[in-house]
Amino acid sequence: MLAPALLTGGQGSTVTVEVANRTGAPSRVTASVRAPAGWQVHETTQRIPAFSNAYLEVQVTPPLAPAQASLSAIVTSPGRKVYGTETADVVIAPPAVS
């Protein structure tokens, strides 16, 4: 999982989740992110061809308060087992005051 190390509170960012389909058939895969309470997370779904890798972009918005957080990828595929978990640690900075 690729996530910016520094996120701005209240502003959307992209977290990228790498997935691999090691089966002989296409798979419909949904990626999301497990985040602390107060975050907005928008999952994404994509069809992954057989024996292929893909990068799914998940939109996240942290709360305004400064904090440190650990994010975990959540990947599901109907009718298939999903192995492995990716994580990223991030810091949330308050938005700039002008």
Inside any domain, residue 1: no
Inside any domain, residue 13: yes
DSSP code of 46?
Answer: E
Q: Domain range spanning residue 43? A: 6-93
Inside any domain, residue 74: yes
Inside any domain, residue 38: yes
Predicted TM-score of the model (pTM): 0.91
* pLDDT, tens only, 40-84: 999 999 999 999 999 999 999 999 999 999 999 999 999 988 988
Inside any domain, residue 35: yes
Q: How many domains does the chain divide into?
A: 1
Residue 39 belongs to a domain with what CATH number? Answer: 2.60.40.10
How far, in Å, CA of 83 to CA of 55, rounded?
A: 16
Inside any domain, residue 98: no
Which two structure tokens, joined as six digits, stand for 32?
């999301």
